[in-house]
A and B are shown apart, each in its own frame.
Chain A
Amino acid sequence: MNVQLFALAIVDGVSYAALVFLVAVGLTLIFGVLRVLNVAHGSFYAIGAYTTASVGGAIFAAGFSPWLAFPLMIVAAVLVGTLIGGPIEKFLLSRIYHLEDVLQILVTFAVFLILEDFQRLVWGVQPLFEATALNQLGTVTVFGITYTAYQLIFLPVVAVLVLVGLRLGLRRTLTGRLITAVTEDREAAITIGIDAEKVYLITFIVGASLAALGGALASATTSVVPGMGADMIVLSFAVVATAGLGQIEGAAITALMIGLGRSFAVYVWPEMQVLVPYLIMFGVLLVRPQGLFGGIEARKI
């Protein structure tokens, strides 16, 4: 493997890791605060992608500026997170926080199945594709290989912005500090008068919006198909478990490891590509069962 291929594998790995990170970070954020492993997280990813692709297709066909594709992604992500994620937390999850972990997982799994059928009902089964955003940014040539600027530059930049934004938001803003307080010690936070219910709702909406943003960004590069949410949820579980549940920077580093591992596999040993994320997870959990960055906790899923 020469230097050129090595560099290419890194470039490929980074752009893939960016998407995986966006979905996984929402999942880990929700878990960190709500202590619920949200299986329906994959649905937000899929619905974000469907919404962006279908609305985008409609407005570009109507002749609007293709640059609207970028604000559309943010609008779609926030709408999906708020209008679908909000009611799910408010009316369903808020009733089950006192129940056992297994029951919580079953409930979110049920929500996932309902939302899968909801997608079929609304968008049908034919794959959708809407690559206006990607085409707007053009291509970049690296070592004689053509990349889309969208995947090479835009996605990693968005991922880094989200990472920095979350970090700053959680440390510097009042809401962020409230969220951090509830994450650290729920009982103590409630005792000093923090409205935990509100914190839960906000966290869930932010987490769901991040998953939807992942889907919105992915919709420019991939076919939006039934079942895409299920694939993503499995991969982001692997990321979150490897990183340690609730670890935001950990999710970023693990997503990068998995992205790079996967692209190196394609260059060196394509047969192993599918296994790589799980081998990394397996290796890490064997040595550190709490995950790379997770602390020891009394409560475990």
Chain B
Amino acid sequence: MLKTILNTTTALAFLTTAAFAEETPAEVKIGITAFLSGPASVFGEPAKAAAEMIIADMNANGGIGGVPVSATFIDEGAGGEALLSEYRRLVESEGVDAMFASISSGNCTKIGPLAEDLKVLNIMWDCGTQTIFEENDFRYSFRTQANATPEMLSTLLYLLRTKPDFKTIAVVNQDYAWGRDSWAIFSAALQQLKPDAQVVAEFFPKFGSPDFSTEISRLQALRPDVILSTSWGGDLDTFVRQASQRGLTNTSTLVLPLGESSLERLGDALPAGHIVGARGDHYFLHPEKINDPAFVAFVDAFTEKTGDVPTYPVFHVSQALAALKGAYEKAIADNGGEWPSDEQVIDALEGLTFAGLGREVTIREDHQGVEDQLLGTTIRVDGYDFALLDNMMMFDGEPITTPVDQVSSEWLQTLTPAFIDSVPVDTFQHNN
């Protein structure tokens, strides 16, 4: 009997010490899910290139707490089932320390519960659906950027501040969850903030549609003051080009909340005077970072490596990596300089403030990141063969993010027109 008690005590004592002094690992392993095939690889490929650059840079400067970082990538384009089993394999067989998942909101929704089962730190590094932390109480998942609600709300605020007198609006969104959900948020907020605005047409062309001729003919007949499109990638490029070829961009103002990711590709197809957003404060000429040598060096190196200027997924992955580094460093400090356990790292993430390539982001108690939102109006500038942003506004993320424990669809109903001028904003002009 005495022997058993002794044994148990020793075992317990051993366990306790083990929990507080983890052995410093040879490397911190991350798994990153991103679209490396299919239409959304316009986001995945730049993010992968950026992650590799940032990790190489981190490792050259001591990694995380002296430990180098290594990353493995999973292709989200392989489909939901393949993604989940690959995710599980990385965690269970490869012993990955943290997962970054994912670009698709549908994948984030599926992976959230899986990360809870596997008890692995899961950073939702790009997906936008606002429902993740409104409908779930996850311990292991965090989002290191904003979500659809602040992204749409800031777009509407920019529109209402720059074109307060518009009367009619039409929407052309992709026919899938994001296209539908983003319009639901935007139109709900529009109803509250500008009840007299009239929605004259709602189009949801097929995802990947190669031709918007018919929609454009109808829009030319309807002549709405504003045309919203939350589309992205090839769909957005095609729509804007066809609209511009047929003169629709002369008669209506386009509002493109994801337009920043298409600016360079659109070239001269996107004329001056249209509203462009960036899913956060993401812009390769970030008005507050344009004189920061580290930022400029990164943008130059990225452009050199990939041939394109960095777009928002690059910023998003930089934020996820900065959050991971920040969390480890905070957990190491809290642990008296010893390597922390996984659970300690997770505790450190809550309330953490970190900065990737843009402004600082703070993780709230519901694990949702609070991120400021940048929008601007296109301008043509000598020396660039594509549109840049002028009359930029950077909206404070806090008041436009749905409060903790509230649901976006209900919270938006409580807004009044007074809200428009209540949100703190910094304005910037394009500066040569």
Contact = CB atoms under 8 A, between A and B. Distances in A.
Contacts of A148: 245-246
B234 interface: yes
Interface residues of A, number: 45
B245 A270 contact: no
Contacts of A225: 39, 208, 233-234
A146 B37 CA distance: 36
B215 A266 contact: yes
B214 interface: yes
Contact of B203 (A135, A226, A232, A266): A266
B221 A126 contact: no
A274 B237 contact: no
A146 B246 contact: yes
A266 B213 CA distance: 10
Contact of A131 (B45, B235, B245): B245
Interface in B8-46: 36-39, 41-42, 44-45
Interface residues of B, number: 40
Contacts of B238: 127, 129, 221-223
A267 B218 CA distance: 7
Interface in B247-284: 247-248, 265, 267, 269
B217 A11 contact: yes
A227 B44 CA distance: 15
Interface in B162-182: 175
A127 B241 contact: no
Given A8-B221, A126-B265, A270-B203, A131 B241 contact: yes
Contact of B221 (A129, A144, A227, A231): A144
Interface in B189-217: 201-206, 208, 210-211, 213-215, 217
Contacts of B217: 8, 11-12, 145, 147
Centre residue among A11, A15, A134, A145 by max chain B CB count within 10 A: A145
B49 to A, nearest CB: 11
Contacts of A4: 221
A127 B221 contact: no
Interface in B219-245: 220-221, 233-235, 237-238, 241-242, 245
Interface in A45-82: none
Centre residue among A19, A134, A223 by max chain B CB count within 10 A: A223
Centre residue among A4, A9, A226 by max chain B CB count within 10 A: A226
A126 B213 contact: no
B75 to A, nearest CB: 11
B92 interface: no
Contact of A5 (B38, B221, B235, B245): B221
Contacts of A5: 221
Contacts of A227: 38-39, 208
A262 interface: yes
A120 B241 CA distance: 23
B139 to A, nearest CB: 35
Q: 4 smallest A-B Cβ distances: which pairs?
A: A225-B234, A125-B41, A223-B234, A222-B210
Interface of A: 4-5, 8-9, 11-13, 15-16, 19, 120, 124-127, 129, 131, 134-135, 139, 144-148, 151, 218, 221-228, 231-232, 262-263, 266-267, 270-271, 273-274
